[in-house]
Amino acid sequence: MKALGNRGGVDAVSQQMASHPQYLESFLRTQHYILHMDGPLPLQYRHYIAIMAAAQHHCGYLVSLHSAQFLRVGGDPLWLQGLEAVPPRLQHLDQLNKVLAHQPWLTARSHIQALLKTGEQCWSLAELVQAVVLLAHCHSLSSFVFGSGTDTVPLHIAPNGTPPGYCLCDAANGNVSAPPPLTTPSEHTTRRWSLDSSCEMVCLKERIQKSQEEKERKGECVLHTQTLQHTDVEDEEEMIYSADPSRFITDPEFGYQEFARREEDHFQVFRVQDYSWEDHGFSLVNRLYSDIGHLLDDRFRSVTALPSSHGPDLKRAIWNYIHCMLGIRYDDYDYGDVNQLLEREMKLYIKSVACYPDATKTPLCPLPWAPLKPSERIHVNLLIMEARLQAELLYALRAITQYMIA
């Protein structure tokens, strides 16, 4: 409430997460840091990498959102025609992007070496670490968007070029501006609310609407519009917002495969006892990308600390089941607990959201636990997102470590 109450509106993702305000605060802080604060990558690169990552799962919501932000920070509209229009160094990132998105266990030292090799289009190690964090963040956020049904909420296009929606992390920076209303109430498109929607979200919107009306009565300026100097740029933006994310995908056939059923025997199980977030990943990422380790660690701790009527055993079962599907194992965990605590329908839901978060290919089965409160359903989606985020980071950071010590 404190973070979003003065904005006059909230984005769909934040509406879903708002039932867990402590986690939402941690999420917004981290996202704002990687997208807007000091870092080696230019702002245009950050949003374009986010587009590339979200496109791997055909997440139109995030692709449209970051396309708008990309233009806001001065990005070249031609880049949004597809990967063939971007500098070679961004094109080179595509291989790592698709591997992390669908089969992260394939991430190898060779991927890192190819990007860091000497040459005009090479990446620095610091740039690559920030890019990896962005990729993993947006891949996992695509899972949350898919699981919560956010991607079914249509994005409107402003005739004056104002991007649809606004940055998910402006609230963390105290930005109280909001986009102008795009339609009259009678013109609004009917929205498909997800299974996670609840009266809590409705109450939040009502309180924010009252706050906005009060500000308007006082004559405060709460609306901020972005004007464009050229009509052709405006037309380009309109085309982009309705664009198919597939224009940013070079290998549409590449997707998730069962780790446990692969015939190849040269990919070993990732054992957390050999390389863990706490003992290895945290220190490496924090050294190469200042403070991000603390922010990510706070996210992991926040989501596991959220209260649940089902107890910590269930949360750990969900977390470890996701890691198991991605080839990560814990020697000190009895995986028989997964079958005892997670019924078959629940495992199908988790697998769908974590491994196939693509609404164009995968119909989302509903959560099987009817008695769950809306906030607990959101909690499940948050656990899936954070477990997947940590899994991708572990694979990428291990590959970077192998490169550095080779």
Active site residues: 59
**Residues 140/134, Cβ–Cβ less than 8 Å:** no
DSSP assignment string, 194-263: -TT--HHHHHHHHHHHHHHHHHHHTT---B-----S-HHHHHHHHHHHT--GGGG-S-TT-----STT-S
* Neighbouring residues of 137: CB distance < 8 A, sequence distance ≥ 6: 30, 31, 34, 50, 53, 389
**Three-state DSSP class for residue 270:** strand
Where in 272-343 does DSSP place strands (E)? Answer: 328-329
CA-to-CA separations, 43 to 50, 106, 194, 356, in angstroms, rounded? 11, 29, 32, 29
The dihedral over CA atoms of 329, 333, 337, 341, expressed in degrees to the nearest 10, equals -80
CA-to-CA separations, 304 to 51, 139, 382, in angstroms, rounded? 28, 20, 9
**Residues 403/336, Cβ–Cβ less than 8 Å:** no
**Residues 223/178, Cβ–Cβ less than 8 Å:** yes
